[in-house]
Amino acid sequence: MWNWSNKRVLLTGGAGFLGSFVADKLRKRGCKDIFIPRSSEYDLVDGHNCKRVIADSSPNVVIHLAARVGGIGANRENPGSFFYDNLMMGVQLMEEARKNSVEKFVAMGTICSYPKFTPVPFREENLWNGYPEETNAPYGLAKKMLLVQSQAYRDQYGFNSIFLLPVNLYGPGDNFNPQSSHVIPALIKKCLDAVATGAPSITVWGTGKATREFLYVEDAAEGIVLATERYNSSEPINLGAGFEISIRDLVGLIVELTSFKGEILWDRTKPDGQPRRCLDTRRAREEFEFTAEVEFREGLLKTIEWYKEEQKKSTKGGSL
């Protein structure tokens, strides 16, 4: 039996998009001691800060969500820093956790670690059957090394670490910065900006043929907490909703929900990214009874409404 009331948790990335939902789930389960380091005080790319954050928090459990992430554009522009920063954060933090006898380490991987042409639905056993899609391979491979480390540390030291592979996330609190956002917030912003300014069209990258799967952020947080409570193996495990939608259909749905009436222009000079993405979610369901709850259309509406409210605050002198 897992009792959160007597656990001290180090939650890296806990002030971020996903982390804020995980922190809320932990508090509702009775966790009273959550240490959330801020990057301004603990730059975890620096090994000294990994050592310091473990010493300062004295955790029983580490949930490592902190990452440097972005959409296709950001990955293309920052392959070196995305590789280095994510690798160094994860590898050094896990090592310090091991040396300090942390009870459990939860490492977050990424769907970007899967091979470019993985058979759909993506099964965990296919993770090593090829090279990732080129635009985000450095990021995907950096995160994948946490799986290697997790399994090696369990074999040599008996260290209890798990490795989760979440699909693309979305929801309230997402990153809407056009320079680094993922596809859903980018499309929502484009459509709502066009509605507000009366623009006759929006431009979307690629051909629209690629497919994606999306998991509502609150569902993802629940999956992470359930895995922390119930899963104790270094075999990788997918977190997803188990459905697939083309980018073209996604654009059509967001256009409908934002009431944009203009033209969609497809910029075919820009990459589609990985051709298809859809996870096999059976292992998570069997191992810790995780199933996504929020229907996709409902989740999109919640995200759009959240962003509209943030825009209103911004125009009244707040910040987005």
Residues involved in catalysis? 139
CA dist list (Å): 125 to 107, 133, 237, 284: 18, 18, 10, 14
With b meaning 16 or more CB within 10 Å and e meaning fewer, what string describes 127-155? beeeebbebbbbbbbbbbbbbebbbebbe
Residue with tokens 């209103």: 312
- Residues 6 or more apart in contact with residue 302 via CB below 8 angstroms: 171, 172, 216, 294
CA distance 272 to 314: 32
DSSP H helices in 58-115:
72-77, 79-99
Query: Which residue from 217, 306, 317, 292 is spatially nearest to 258, judged by alpha carbons?
Result: 306
Query: Which residue from 207, 213, 212 is spatially nearest to 272, judged by alpha carbons?
Result: 207
CA distance 201 to 187: 12
CA dist list (Å): 65 to 127, 195, 289: 20, 35, 21
Query: Which residue from 101, 235, 57, 260 is spatially nearest to 155, judged by alpha carbons?
Result: 235
CA distance 190 to 303: 14
HSE-CB for 214 with a 13 A CA cutoff? 23
